[in-house]
Structure 1
Amino acid sequence: MSGRVLITAGASGVGRAMAEAFDAVGAQVWVVDLDAEALGACPSHWKRSQVDVADEPSVADLFAEIAAQWGGLDTLCANAGIAGPTALVEDVALDEWRACLAVNLEGAFLCAKYAAPILKRQGSGAIIITSSTAGQYGYPNRAPYAAAKWGVIGLAKTLAMELGPHGVRCNTICPGAVEGPRMEGVLAREANAKGMTRDQVYNGYAAGTSMGRFVEGRDIADMAVFLASDAARLVSGQVIAVDGHTVNPDPKI
């Protein structure tokens, strides 16, 4: 596919897998991340910007730069997110709650806010927001994260309704447990909170899916490429889980 694709948190993890997948099908790629070292390790032909997606002036400047350099945008992958605290709700500090929602929910909102005028002017495009199965089922000990991921689903469905008349689609991808360093941190914190071992928590997540396994970044990336393509030209307002089919979001092992 040809196209201009912006991916937030695109220098590592799921975002990096998305960037590689879009690059492989011929798209122009622009990755945004806070991690300067990870950005520096990205291929030199990708455009790269160090931006905090929770900071509105920085996001506004980013999209002004995109409009100036690219003249438009075909796909926004609003992928940036943080895990937030792992604790019972009564033990979550308000600043931890706000920090989690600022990146996961407000970051997606800000990117959509500044992408929308560009996409509407050209009468085409796609927005893909990374949610989570936590945004479908909820998860104990993860109240801020689950609330934010439910929130982006409501945002995406609303964007689909607002932007559809302008030829712009919006969908959410809900990854399950994704192999990688970020999930390892979640496993460690959850094991500590539940008095379990890391392997017990890992096996519990895997056993909570009908396919009995974690997903990989490339699984999420493949779905993003599909949703951005003409093959998905009438797919909008959808919540698509890529999770091995979650059947029990909080298995007890």
Structure 2
Amino acid sequence: MVSDSIAVVTGGGRGIGQAICTRLAQDGADVVIADLDADEMQETKRLVEAEGQRALAVETDVSEQESVRSTVDRVLDEFGQIDILVNNAGIAGPTSPCEEIEQTEWDATMDVNLRGPFFMCREILPVMKDRGFGRIVNISSVTGKKPLLNRTPYAATKMGLIGFTRTLALEVGEYDINVNAICPGSVDGPRIRGVFEQQAEATGRSYDDVRAETEAQSPRNELVQREDIASVAAYLCSEEAARITGQDINVSAGKVMY
């Protein structure tokens, strides 16, 4: 359980982030939703409060240092502590061969997917160190472990996030701060359904055939649900996972096993 904890979840307005916010609230945490979309944050705020927990929605651009700093200051003014940080905010980046990717596309992917977690950790770690406690969960991807065609910026950030996780865990373990990464596989939801629709149109196949092809990459022949990832995140933040740190845990229905 994470009762009486204050959790900050970036990209908490929808999808995996929303599921994590809701699950942490179910387990007794008050939740700060840090996102760019005000409307989506309000829905997550409603879900957290429906679980009987306090919720704070703060417009945050994780790629901008001052925005992150302002968010952390506001959280401390409101709650006085931060126990949990989930770095979930991320973007897909371009889908193109490496030589066709613009520098602006590369930089934008790096800024959100890698610089964002760095900025968040840099601002929050002093708070956790002072308290002598903290739990950090970084949302990477199975693409942090295996290639994904025409997605070099995304793959580089997700692989980099695993290295960041392991090294940071080594740095802060003495303060009872654990740092772990979750590597989701293909997650069911509007985003991947849109991808399937685009692939079906581009290849002249049916939506069901395209989806089945992706599902077949898993020994379970299914996609991951966002609640699966939320459950693992909640566990890593709980006392039951007190001696788990520096790990990158697959939630992929077996799509990746290393």
Structure-2-length-normalised TM-score:
0.90
Match runs of 1:88-103 below 5 Å? 88-103=97-112
Shift of 1:29: 0.7
Check 1:117–1:197 CA distance in 2 against 1; reply closer, same or farther (3 A cut): farther
- The aligned counterpart of 2:6 is 4
Quick one: which amino acid aligns to residue 27 of structure 1?
Answer: A
Between 1:74-83 and 1:137-146, the stretch displaced more is: 137-146
Shift of 1:182: 2.1
* 3-state DSSP of counterpart to 2:145: helix
Listed one character per residue, the Cα deviations across residues 186-210 of structure 1 (whole Å, up to 9, x for unaligned) are 4455567778665444222211111
Match runs of 1:228-239 below 5 Å? 228-239=237-248
Check 1:195–1:149 CA distance in 2 against 1; reply closer, same or farther (3 A cut): farther
Given that 2:142 and 2:256 are in contact with CA atoms closer than 8 Å, whether structure 1 keeps it comes out as no
Shift of 1:177: 0.4
Given that 1:67 and 1:118 are in contact with CA atoms closer than 8 Å, whether structure 2 keeps it comes out as no
Check 1:240–1:233 CA distance in 2 against 1; reply closer, same or farther (3 A cut): same
Listed one character per residue, the Cα deviations across residues 76-96 of structure 1 (whole Å, up to 9, x for unaligned) are 000001111112222222211
In structure 1, C-alpha distance between the alignment counterparts of 2:201 and 2:135, rounded to whole Å:
40
- The aligned counterpart of 2:214 is 205
* 3-state DSSP of counterpart to 2:182: strand
Task: Give yes or no for the alignment of 1:224 onto 2:233.
Answer: yes
Structure-1-length-normalised TM-score:
0.92
- The aligned counterpart of 2:130 is 121
In structure 2, C-alpha distance between the alignment counterparts of 1:85 and 1:30, rounded to whole Å:
29
In structure 2, C-alpha distance between the alignment counterparts of 1:100 and 1:196, rounded to whole Å:
30
Q: 1:59 aligns with which of 68, 71, 82?
A: 68
- The aligned counterpart of 1:251 is none
Q: Which runs of 5+ in 1 are unaligned?
A: 249-253
Between 1:57-66 and 1:233-242, the stretch displaced more is: 57-66
Given that 2:250 and 2:256 are in contact with CA atoms closer than 8 Å, whether structure 1 keeps it comes out as no
Listed one character per residue, the Cα deviations across residues 96-147 of structure 1 (whole Å, up to 9, x for unaligned) are 1111111111111111111111111111111000000000112112111111
Check 1:55–1:197 CA distance in 2 against 1; reply closer, same or farther (3 A cut): farther
Given that 1:208 and 1:247 are in contact with CA atoms closer than 8 Å, whether structure 2 keeps it comes out as no
Aligned residues: CA RMSD = 1.8
In structure 2, C-alpha distance between the alignment counterparts of 1:38 and 1:199, rounded to whole Å:
29
Count of equivalent residues: 248
In structure 2, C-alpha distance between the alignment counterparts of 1:101 and 1:197, rounded to whole Å:
34
Between 1:106-115 and 1:223-232, the stretch displaced more is: 106-115
In structure 2, C-alpha distance between the alignment counterparts of 1:93 and 1:147, rounded to whole Å:
15
Between 1:82-91 and 1:223-232, the stretch displaced more is: 82-91
Given that 2:200 and 2:207 are in contact with CA atoms closer than 8 Å, whether structure 1 keeps it comes out as yes
In structure 1, C-alpha distance between the alignment counterparts of 2:183 and 2:119, rounded to whole Å:
20
Match runs of 1:107-146 below 5 Å? 107-146=116-155
- The aligned counterpart of 1:38 is 40
